Amino acid sequence: MVSDHDEMSDSDSARVTIKDVARAAGVSIATASKALNDRGRMMVETRQRIRDVAASLGFMPNAMARALVSQRSFTIGLLTNDTYGRFTLPVAAGLSEALIDRGVSVFLCAFEDDAERAAINLRSMQEKRVDGLVIAGKRIDRGLPIDLPRLPMPVVRVYSLCRDDEIGFVPDDLEGARSAVNHLIACGRRRIAHITGPTSFHAVRLRAEGWTEAVEAAGLPLLAGPQFGDWSEAFGYASGERLLTLPASERPDGVFCGNDQIARGLIDALTLGGVRVPDDVSVVGFDNWEVFAKATRPPLTTVDMGLNELGRQAGLTLLDLVAGKPVVPGVRRLACRLVVRSSCGTRPL
């Protein structure tokens, strides 16, 4: 049987309270509190002695007691419907990293798109008195399947739909797309196609717009326009097979794909059909999902959305809000970053 944790020795830190520290140091509780929190004025030796005693006793302040009086729990909730964390995980990593240094911990509430579970999680966060909420989604044009009835705490959104009076962080898809296309152009490509996901996604429309703008700005042809499909490797593969049926003169020499999976499928089909990447066709992806991007043959040049940074910024902004600092509402579009690998060949200097 396992019960180590309740056969406590005297040094059991969880049970040491500030009262024990005060007694051991021969001071009052109030003084102990002040010494440990570096507040008020007192003799340096007294302060140091109290701290030494606390350390030797293994004292750890009870955050819940502290929260009760300070009305700050030093916790926040991360609500997401992205259970498998394709987007949320990098966001969560950036978020907690930024917050842990400030003593705040994050509750992870992930639920499939199930309104009831969402409500349970939300209620739980309210009872636990989180200082704020980060709401993270898996697309920028959808909210979560809960309405948030005037929550009594600040909310920040990440990679999710965001009303004008709310605060949100999303990647700058438009600029990311432009940089992908400009890279293809810099690599000497002139016939640049765009193969991407379903038009119902706002991200798809933004990326297509970026493609259009950059292609037109360079005075190049828009070819057949963006090819919309779904986000899968299978669609990329099918698109590749279609390109193979084109006469070589009508084939694009560069393809900007809406995500890495499409790019992967496309490259596989081209390779199998004897078209060389990047020699014959350059390909750029979107997402920098490393497990895909690095494993593609050749490794994929792709656009990184900076999800980590999105999480970090969201966390810091939420903290500002909690502290009562004024924050301008609206959505922030954070810069994407092109990660160059080998699928476009070398950019001429």
Partner DNA sequence: CTGAAAGCGCTTACAG
Q: Does 328 bind DNA (CB under 7 A)?
A: no
Q: Are the C-beta atoms of 240 and 267 separated by less than 8 Å? A: yes
Q: Is 87 exposed, middle or buried (0-12, 13-18, 19+ CB in 10 A)?
A: buried
34 in contact with DNA (CB under 7 A):
yes
Site for DNA contains 56 (CB under 7 A): no
Closest approach of its own copies to the CB of residue 181, in Å: 26
Please identify, among the stretches 146-154, 187-195, 277-285, 332-340, the one whose residues bind its own copies according to the rule CB under 8 A: 146-154
The 82-121 contact track toward its own copies, x by CB under 8 A, reads: -xxx---xx-xx--xx--xx-x-xxxxxx------x--xx
Q: Is 230 in contact with 262 (CB distance < 8 Å)?
A: no
By CB under 8 A, residue 222 contacts its own copies: no
Helix axes 44-57, 29-37, angle to 10 degrees: 90
Say how many C-beta atoms besides its own lie within 10 A of residue 141's C-beta: 16
- Show contacts with DNA in window 62-101 (CB under 7 A): 62, 65-66, 68-71
The residue among 17 and 182 lying less far from DNA, judged by its C-beta, is: 17
Given DNA, its own copies, none, residue 128, with its beta carbon under 5 to 8 Å by kind, binds its own copies
Could you give the 3-state DSSP secondary structure of residue 287? strand
ω into residue 278 within 30 of 0, thus cis?
A: yes
Token pair for 296: 């593609």
Judged by CB under 7 A, does residue 15 bind DNA? yes
Between CA 39 and CA 222 the distance in angstroms is 66
Q: Are 125 and 77 in contact (CB under 8 A)?
A: yes
Please identify, among the stretches 25-33, 74-82, 179-187, 280-288, the one whose residues bind its own copies according to the rule CB under 8 A.
Answer: 74-82
For DNA, the binding residues (CB under 7 A) are 15-19, 27-31, 33-34, 36-37, 39-43, 46, 59-62, 65-66, 68-71
